[in-house]
Structure 1
Amino acid sequence: MKLPKKKYEITKVEKSKNYKNEPIVYIIVKLTNKSKEKENIFSSLVEGCTIQQDTGDTTEDLPSAYIDEEKSPYKNQIKMSHKDLKPGKTVEAALALQLVDENSPLIFEFVNGEYEEIGTETIDINNGSAINETNSISSSSSSEKKITASSTKKEKKSNKNRKKSSNKKKSSKKKSIFDNQTPPETGNADLDSKISELSQQYDELTKRANAFAKDPSSFTEDAKLQFLQDESTTIATFNEVTEQLDTLDNDDTSSKSMKVLIYIQNKNSDLLEAVSKLPEE
């Protein structure tokens, strides 16, 4: 998928288990930074891309999986995702996501800066092959695929508009949804309250993880246990929010839901980056 600031090429998907023996999936991505500034790799992997599973009755967003990086078969690619990518450079990085179902296909939905859909790809989780025939696919083996989703006219129009306003980008960059400290609102009071609660949980966990990284001696067994418990609570809140977002199905709320999901993904990115710096056992 060629996006305005990056090229996003899914090269492999592989099912696995985390340290709790829960089903997860590794998504290996060849990422190219097309912008003129360095970009955080993990943020580039998740921003503008929603990854879901269609279980037949529901379509659910996949949360990030918490894994032991040192024991991961994709340790190098996972560690690469914590770094920054220079302009014009290409790397191979990986995402580890919690699976909702061990056999349901993965659905990748890409959006532009205006949250308009510019491409989708549905992938068979068992063999990595693309199901959606409307996208361009070049395969290298039965278990490893190079999958490139097709761009739409919306993306071309978006790229054209970006060229015209290139001089304005530097001054407006900080106005991105990803930099907002206040969560986007959906108009549903109960859901907005839950989203705000989730945002605070992410911020608190990220703050504590950064503090542990600065002072490893404070990362005691009791502190670690409490952190993992609070982390589980945050994941539970995340699942509640995504379930409620799925009930907002009209055009107006769908756009708002996408903004919330991208906002949450960014919060999760901050947390995972902080967790990656925690003292090793």
Structure 2
Amino acid sequence: MQLAFTKMHGLGNDFVVIDAISQQVEFTQQQLRFIADRRFGIGCDQILLVESPRDAATDFHYRIFNPDGSEVEQCGNGARCFAHFVRDKGLSTKNEIPVGTAAGRIQLKHLPDGMVQVNMGQPQLSPAKIPFRAERQAATYDLEVGGERLTIAAVSMGNPHVVIQVDSVAQAPVQRLGPLIERHARFPNRVNAGFMEIVNPDHIKLRVFERGTGETLACGTGACAAVVAGRIQGLLNPQVRVGLPGGDLVVEWREESEPVLMSGPAATVFEGRIEL
């Protein structure tokens, strides 16, 4: 099978985007791992599939696969790439695009400056909905990891996140603690681990160790989760600039009953075909 693809990135978080509407696509886990391999395949943090809608309230369906072949619920940087892809390929001419995901519906909006704003929906803070094993909902929790007791926030943005406040992201033990947090027994579906440095109430720095991928240059849902975590602890203002290794996102969350809005860039790198 020969497959057409587009390589894209959002702040260095890179994706192989595949049109599964105009070409027939059905992957094995081995094929997904091959596509994501940076030496033998194309190479990416995640593979995105653009599919036909599954309900009348959306224009498309969006699926996300990690380099290990596992499917995940949501990806904010990927969603921005998705919006550019469907416009560039002539699949949509709309400025606002409703898209279905495994985590529910999201709304993508093309902004006049070329950025894309993603309505990520309301965050989930209930432990059962994250999912996270805890007796009750709280702003922070204690978590035993690698012989240390960490203070964490736990948030779902359609996928589960831990957020840990650190003095310096440059010195944060991302590579040591990230894999231990990802597979901690209290997170039955595994979890993404974010390390957040608060510069001021309008600006944070963030590094994220993503489940099934490792540390990436940017993580859109991680940026949203970090702002939510800071807001529920009374540490951040409603609109925050999130500095990631690959660049900046703007995240807005005003009230618990309102959705999280994330704005940032997306870019096409190249197009090609690959034999599977």
Tell whether the structures are fold-level matches, with TM greater than 0.5.
Answer: no
Higher helix share: 1
Given the two structures, how large is their TM-score scaled by the length of structure 2?
0.28
Higher strand share: 2
Higher relative contact order (CA 8 A, sep 6+): 2
